[in-house]
Amino acid sequence: MIIGTAGHIDHGKTALVKALTGVDADRLKEEKARGITLDLGYAYWPLANGEVLGFIDVPGHEGLVRNMLAGATGIDFALLVVAADDGPMPQTQEHLAILQLLGIRRGAVALTKIDAVAAARVPEAREEIRALLANSPLADVPTFPVSGITGQGVADLRAHIEEAAKKGSQKPAEGYFRLAIDRAFTLNGVGLVVTGTAFSGRVRVGDRLVVSPAGLDARVRSLHVQDRKAESGQAGQRCALNLTGERLSKEALRRGDWLVEAAGYAPAQRLDVRLTLAPAAKTLTQWTAVHFHLGAGSQPARVVLLEGETLAPGGAMLAQIVLSKPEEARGLDRFVLRDPSARHTLGGGVVLDPYGPARYRRSPARLAWLAALEHADHGEALAALLEEAGEADLSLFARVRNLRREELPQPPVPQPSCGVTTRSGDYLVSEARWQVWAGAILDRLARYHEEHPDLVGIDAERLQRMATPAAPRAVIEAMLEELRQQGKLARSGPWWHLPEHRIRLGQSDVQLWQELSPLLAAHPFEPPRVRDLAGCLHEEENRVRLTLKRLARLGEVYEIAHDHFFTRQAVAQLAEQLETLAAKNGVVEAAAFRDRIATGRKLAIRILEFFDRIGYTRRVRDEHRLRRQGPALAGMERQTVC
């Protein structure tokens, strides 16, 4: 468990940590000289059961809230320190507000410096603290009057912390490892060391990690957990990792970077969040400039409101945080917003989806997705997605929540659902939604065949746009294949159609084909082009072209080159000639093929390119090799002209 101090400057936070642990958390010469904490301090307290508690001591000066936030975002237990002589002060209130925004609900209050005030002052100060905490998540935590100088009351506070430590850290040990780096330094004989609080997952000596957002590769040479040498560490612990890597150096790292498991490396720059504005803040408008704090770092950002144009003080709304640089955020991470000058805390909240879109971010489907992600329980979130949207992208959900695929829960939903595995990821679709989408596809195809009886069908992408535009493309592709296996759909080349559908030519097209057929057959290996056919028959060129294209869909002719159609019989004979030539040495050259079919070289090359294109042959330099498999001459089953 990680315990973090909070409170106004000079209220005795560092002295209290020393009284509890025996460790002076002020490590900088300037801190010792001035007697105030300027940066994060660290101390450890070994318990009798072998567990080690970690303490993060934060500065209380109003100008050092950024450093306070770097430590507070990783704690499990808040130790709010209030001096008995002063009582609650401005930074007491701001630190308390920050703890509330970070969702910290476990803690205790230390009423310090009781040795410096009259006995009657102690109950007065306790009442002031009670009033301060009345409407906060820490309203019910106990208050311990203590003195860091005399030790009075420290034993009772220590006993309470020990009891609270039995519940341990509430950070998830599941998922990919993430550590918020707050220090980087080098040690003689050791090398580069980084320290920080582990937010999720586990790490072991020898693991391959990535420094984010820079993308630098690193390997763990050795590991200290809670100030003790260890072979592994996990979420909720302070870790010091000795790293090695080709481009790693102290200068390449800074506070605010993340150390993440390589498979989970996925920085993002548009975070969709649930944002709560502090009661004392000013009304927030679109594209407001802010300072964004998450993990151990901060950076400039802008706010895009998703459910309105303004957010009033004390209100909450879905919003998108547009960062100035990528951040290794994940769903359910807590964050804090401060004003651009970093003088006032504006609000904060929880990250819902760190991979927010730049477009359609306020669409109903997007808002429904975010509403489902507000469920902290993974199973309940998936259930909400199925209930609202009818489907859930499991691969995206796992990435948002920093989960491995095998860690995804089964959603507790009453309605049946089915899983779909595709090349782009895994999906969960409710049975009701599956049937709706399947029915829409079959109905749309039936209407399309009525509207276009001379066409084979529709390609998958267009069919998906026409029938189920809101459905994931990968899911529809899997659905089409299942419907084909069930005999409800058929596929001819790239075209999907109903099994009973047959292309029907109009009577005028049938009559025109009867006139075109002998002209093409008269010169099978060098048939007239479209313009020549039109001239011979005194027909419009475009009508001849459209009729031949319809016949090509039936497999009666093939368009070898633009406006150059060959009959099916001619193409079959050309394929036989290729086989004969290839039988000699396995290859066909353009010159030999030209001589064999008695045409010009240019046309012979175009015919060979056609056979390459349909997969009957394969070009290797200036030769064409026959493939082992026979040609897919039609790309579809030949249908009878009617």
Look up the CATH number of the domain holding residue 603: 1.10.10.10
pLDDT at 413: 52
Do both 31 and 133 map to the same domain? yes
Do both 14 and 155 map to the same domain? yes
In the structure, what pLDDT confidence band is assigned to residue 70 with cuts at 50, 70 and 90?
confident
pLDDT at 641: 44
Report which of residues 21 and 419 the model is more confident about: 21
Q: How many domains does the chain have?
A: 4
Do both 24 and 151 map to the same domain? yes
In the structure, what pLDDT confidence band is assigned to residue 453 with cuts at 50, 70 and 90?
confident
pLDDT at 506: 75
- The residue among 255, 225, 256 whose CA lies nearest residue 241 is 225
- The residue among 199, 200, 249, 196 whose CA lies nearest residue 223 is 196
Beta bridge partners of 243: 192, 220
Pairing verdict, β 297-305 and 238-244 = unpaired
pLDDT at 32: 65
The mean pLDDT value for 305-333 works out to: 97
pLDDT at 158: 94
pLDDT at 141: 95
Whether the Cβ atoms of residue 391 and residue 473 lie closer than 8 Å to each other: no
Distance set, CA 609 to CA 58, 296, 622 (Å) = 73, 61, 11
- Domain stop point among 327, 362, 397: 362
pLDDT at 389: 79
In the structure, what pLDDT confidence band is assigned to residue 631 with cuts at 50, 70 and 90?
very low
CA distance 233 to 203: 5
| Residue 344's CATH number | 2.40.30.10
- Domain stop point among 165, 198, 227: 165
Query: Phi-psi region for residue 561, left (φ > 0), alpha (ψ -120 to 50) or beta?
Result: beta
410 found inside a domain: no
* pLDDT(422) > 80: no
CA distance 362 to 356: 10
pLDDT at 499: 95
Whether the Cβ atoms of residue 606 and residue 561 lie closer than 8 Å to each other: yes
- What is the residue-wise DSSP string for 321-360? EEEEEEE---TT-EEEEE-TTS-SEEEEEEEEESB--SSS
Do both 17 and 92 map to the same domain? yes
Quick one: what percent of the chain has pLDDT higher than 70?
94
Find the farthest-apart pair of alpha carbons in the chain and give their distance in angstroms, rounded: 119
Do both 188 and 295 map to the same domain? no
pLDDT at 614: 87
| Residue 310: strand, helix, or coil | strand
- The residue among 526, 520, 528 whose CA lies nearest residue 599 is 526
Residue pointed to by tokens 């089953």: 637
DSSP run (H or E) holding 446: helix 431-451
500 found inside a domain: no
The mean pLDDT value for 289-303 works out to: 95
* pLDDT(637) > 60: no
Do both 355 and 255 map to the same domain? no
434 found inside a domain: no
The mean pLDDT value for 176-195 works out to: 94
432 found inside a domain: no
Name which of 403-417, 449-463, 590-604 the model is least confident about.
403-417
Do both 153 and 35 map to the same domain? yes
411 found inside a domain: no
pLDDT at 470: 84
Phi, psi angles (nearest 5°) of residue 447: -65, -35
Mean pLDDT, rounded, of the chain: 90
Distance set, CA 403 to CA 175, 178, 297, 399, 629 (Å) = 4, 12, 23, 6, 44
In the structure, what pLDDT confidence band is assigned to residue 159 with cuts at 50, 70 and 90?
very high
Whether the Cβ atoms of residue 633 and residue 558 lie closer than 8 Å to each other: yes
pLDDT at 411: 67
CA distance 401 to 408: 9
pLDDT at 417: 63
In the structure, what pLDDT confidence band is assigned to residue 428 with cuts at 50, 70 and 90?
confident
In the structure, what pLDDT confidence band is assigned to residue 573 with cuts at 50, 70 and 90?
very high
CA dihedral in degrees (622, 624, 625, 629; nearest 10)?
Answer: 150
CA distance 56 to 40: 7
* pLDDT(2) > 70: yes
Is the link from the previous residue into 213 a cis peptide, with omega within 30 of 0? yes
What are the respective helix, strand and coil percentages of the chain, to the nearest 5?
35, 30, 35
161 found inside a domain: yes
Name which of 63-67, 312-316, 409-413, 430-434 the model is least confident about.
409-413
- What is the residue-wise DSSP string for 91-121? HHHHHHHHHHHTT---EEEEEE-GGGS-TTH
Do both 57 and 132 map to the same domain? yes
Beta bridge partners of 285: 310
Cβ-in-10-Å burial (0-12, 13-18, 19+) of 359 comes to exposed
The mean pLDDT value for 180-202 works out to: 94
* pLDDT(146) > 80: yes
149 found inside a domain: yes
CB count within 10 Å of CB 551 equals 26
* DSSP letter, residue 383: H
- Domain stop point among 362, 387, 409: 362
Do both 158 and 142 map to the same domain? yes
Whether the Cβ atoms of residue 402 and residue 378 lie closer than 8 Å to each other: no
Determine the distance from the C-alpha atom of residue 460 to the mean position of all C-alpha atoms in its chain, rounded to a whole number.
26
Per-residue model confidence as pLDDT tens digits over 209-246: 999 999 999 999 999 999 999 999 999 999 999 999 99
Residues 6+ apart with CB under 8 A from 337: 275, 290, 291, 292, 293, 301, 303, 321, 345, 346, 347, 348
Do both 309 and 347 map to the same domain? yes
Instruction: Spell 102-140 as b/e; 16+ CB within 10 A means b.
Output: bebbbbbbbbbbbeebeeebeeebbebbeebbeebbbee
Name which of 27-36, 51-60, 240-249, 301-310 the model is least confident about.
27-36
Quick one: what percent of the chain has pLDDT higher than 90?
70
CA distance 137 to 80: 13
pLDDT at 630: 47
Do both 68 and 10 map to the same domain? yes
Whether the Cβ atoms of residue 11 and residue 112 lie closer than 8 Å to each other: yes
The mean pLDDT value for 11-20 works out to: 92
How many Å is the Cα radius of gyration of the chain?
A: 36
In the structure, what pLDDT confidence band is assigned to residue 420 with cuts at 50, 70 and 90?
confident
Q: Which domain holds residue 40?
A: 2-165
| Residue 102's CATH number | 3.40.50.300
The mean pLDDT value for 461-470 works out to: 93
Per-residue model confidence as pLDDT tens digits over 524-560: 999 999 999 999 999 999 999 999 988 887 778 999 9
* pLDDT(402) > 90: yes
Query: Phi-psi region for residue 262, left (φ > 0), alpha (ψ -120 to 50) or beta?
Result: alpha
102 found inside a domain: yes
Distance set, CA 61 to CA 71, 98, 129 (Å) = 14, 14, 20
CA distance 171 to 583: 70
* pLDDT(197) > 70: yes
Beta bridge partners of 271: 321
pLDDT at 167: 84
Beta bridge partners of 420: 427
Instruction: Spell 378-396 as b/e; 16+ CB within 10 A means b.
Output: bebbbbbbbebbbbbbbbb
Per-residue model confidence as pLDDT tens digits over 243-292: 999 999 999 999 999 999 999 999 999 999 999 999 989 999 999 999 99
- The residue among 280, 286, 278 whose CA lies nearest residue 307 is 286
Do both 9 and 158 map to the same domain? yes
